[in-house]
Amino acid sequence: MESISKFKKNLGSRGITLIALVITIIVLLILAGVSISTLTGENSILAKANVAKERTIHETVKEAILLKYTEYIQELSINNKQQKQKPTSRMAVVEPISIKSFVEFLQEEKYVDEKLVINIERLVGNKLSLGNGTGTTDVYKIEQLEENEKWILKLKYMDEKAVEKILWEETLDVKSIIEGGDGDRDTDIAP
């Protein structure tokens, strides 16, 4: 008899009560809720990671375009110097210097199609998770406007909803290029 009462006494002190178990489950549910809300939602870790990924891809494309732009400016400068060094006779008619636009340069190199959509795989060297669309959604586009002997260049991204975001803009003075300068570049790089 004594051993049975001793067994009941020990059993009560070693076991988990139902109240302790319920409290533990409630605490775990609260922690799970906080963790899930941190991972999902508009201002969550996953949303911030997606925004950072998108910015990185935009910067990759922008840097590749800026590299091609630098090549373009160098080519213009070299061609301009070569045309100025050509000997001309007194009777010869001096032809005006013709320069191709940056868009024409990109099209010659097959980086841009006739709709001014950038071929990301050719430009960057591999396929990215953005800019692989067709037409007007999920594409990068280059735009060139002419205004008062200046070219305004814009790099744009059109997302899946066709919302336009300007990633880079530059104004180039064509007259300055013809005269041998670098185009008095006025760069505006969007964040």
| CA torsion angle 148 183 190 164 (round to 10) | 50
For residue range 157-170, list pLDDT tens digits in order.
Answer: 988 888 889 998 98
Angle at 188 between CA 153 and CA 125, to 5 degrees: 60
* 66 and 139, same domain (yes or no): yes
Total domain count, the chain: 2
Q: Is a pLDDT exceeding 90 seen at residue 26?
A: yes
Which residue range is the domain that position 70 belongs to? Answer: 45-189
- Quick one: 72 and 10 in the same domain? no
Asked if residue 95 and residue 174 are part of one domain, the reply reads: yes
For residues 82 and 26, membership in a common domain is answered with: no
Confidence class for position 94, pLDDT limits 50, 70, 90:
very low
The angle at the Cα of 146, spanning 145 to 147, to the nearest 5 degrees, equals 120
| Side chain identity, residue 99 | I
More confident position, 118 or 93: 118
Q: DSSP for 98-149, please give it.
A: ----HHHHHHHTTSB-TT-BB-HHHHHSS--SSS---TTSSEEEEEEEEETT
Question: Of all residues in the chain, what percent carry a pLDDT higher than 90?
Answer: 22
Question: Same structural domain for residues 150 and 120?
Answer: yes
Residue 136's pLDDT band (boundaries 50, 70, 90)? confident
The three-state secondary structure class of 5 is helix
Q: How many CB atoms lie within 10 A of CB 116?
A: 16
| 35 and 52 inside one domain | no
Instruction: Clarify whether residues 94 and 35 are in a common domain.
Output: no
Give 87's contacts (C-beta < 8 A, 6+ positions apart).
none
Q: Is the same domain home to 87 and 21?
A: no
Residue 15 and residue 49 in one domain: no
Pairing outcome for strands 186-189 and 150-158: unpaired
List, for residues 39-51, the tens digit of each pLDDT value: 887 888 888 998 8
When pLDDT is averaged across residues 25-43 and rounded to a whole number, the result is 89
